[in-house]
Amino acid sequence: MATSRILVADDDEAVLESVAWLLQENGYDVVPANGGVSCIEQLEKRAPDLILLDILMPDADGCQLLERIKGDDRWRDLPVLMLSAQPPEEASVKSLGLGAADFIRKPYRPKEVLARVQAQLRMGALLRSTRAALMRTEEQLVRAQQDADSRRKLVDILHEVTGDLSVSELFHLLVRRAARALGVSHCSVVLARPGEPQATVVAAFENPGLQHLPVQLERYPELKAALDSGQPVLVEDLDTHPLYEGVRHVWGIEGLEVPIRSVIALPFSIDRGQYGVFLVRRTRDQERFGPADLEFAQAVITAAVAVIQRAQMVESTMADNARLEQLAQTDPLTQLLNRRALTERIAAEMERTLRYDSTMALLMIDLDHFKRVNDTYGHLVGDDVLRDVAPLLSDTIRTADIVARYGGEEFLVLLPETDDAGAESFADRIRRAIETHPFASDSLPEPLRLTASIGVAVYPAARIESVEDLFARADAALYRAKADGRNRVRL
């Protein structure tokens, strides 16, 4: 497999060198550019697989540069990660709106950069694969079309639906593009399950704001016929087609004047037993559909369904991966981060602390005499207490802080940008919160009162060179808090 090529553009030599070194150490081919002009020069020579672009550079505005890159057909599909020291709400919204794939705030965290780079390279590879597949489909469809204008419209559809869109967004996009390509005023996507009397309209060209409109299949015989048979249904004239004989009678009783004259219903399958129908219709003032229209519509919808199915696969895979990652990082009892996940965060925070000459603290919290709770009231009550501690700690910490379960009755709190005095003060606030909190359980006649001992370790400090050293320092401080009588904080 070829090495991924990454273009890094930043006027800050220190940042440029550190990012380049990080990526090279992880096996990437890095092309450095010390400004916007150099970035364009490198792009002209050879397009990379990914761009890391600083928002603020003396010789170029990063957002303007991003807009230029995305406006060039040669580079519009290149994923661009924006780097900026600006607040996320100011920089990310603007850059993402211009087509950036993601946003990383300076000072960056190495593991975060690597994770985001890997994610965008994977998405880029998937996009190239999708586009290649669509190009093959496009070539087949173009050969099948006799009308040059229809071919051009079909190409437009295929190009537009290759973006990074959700399935729902794709449905809305496809009805717009398909309606224009087919020259119809009404185009809808309807989802249904076999045997159910009701279907749901999830997107409609004639009503862009429509979402999840239920319809009764008995009033739409073309939908029912397409779903039951799995075959396309062409109705050239609703006034004479036998499929509508019963429905026309109902329309007469209700006094309805139906503006639709001609219909094509194209069924497709999704997954998990769900099916859909692309429903295209022409009104009485438009030309009726014929066999040629059906053939062209089938070609368009076949290509569209392939994109939908790929989007579903991507969505499902990403959701499954996110769930698995969440499970791997979460303590099942308290739903806090587990020790393994926190260890990774601590390692990254230690690197950041050294780089920016800052401080950080780790609190190790142990519930005093917790064994008595389990021995006296049982482990179910003990579990209720531990579950109660989780939100108590989460409500006490700041937004940037991280709380995790260490194991048993021990919890950890990571405090970035915190020195000795701040850590002790914060730890004492937690100690008081636990001491004054009534721990209730359905199995208890009245709430329990508990206390906690807390050990504090601050980094950087002598003889702390690793995460394990930091844990050991906090554990030693916790032991002193226990030895001095419990319900206290020790540094």
Instruction: Give the active site residues.
Output: 409
How many whole angstroms separate alpha carbon 367 and alpha carbon 324? 30
Q: Answer yes or no: are the C-beta atoms of 327 and 401 closer than 8 Å.
A: no
Residues 6+ apart with CB under 8 A from 348: 109, 110, 111, 112
Which run of H or E residues covers position 37? helix 36-45
Place of tokens 């026309």: 248
Q: Answer yes or no: are the C-beta atoms of 270 and 190 closer than 8 Å.
A: no
State the Cα torsion 415-421-427-433 to the nearest 10°: -120
Tokens of 408: 């048993």
Q: Answer yes or no: are the C-beta atoms of 267 and 227 closer than 8 Å.
A: yes
Q: Answer yes or no: are the C-beta atoms of 79 and 123 closer than 8 Å.
A: yes
Place of tokens 């021995």: 375
Q: Give Cα separations from 467 to 243, 365, 402, 472 (angstroms).
A: 73, 17, 15, 9
Tokens of 356: 């920016």
Q: Hey, is 108 helix, strand or coil?
A: coil
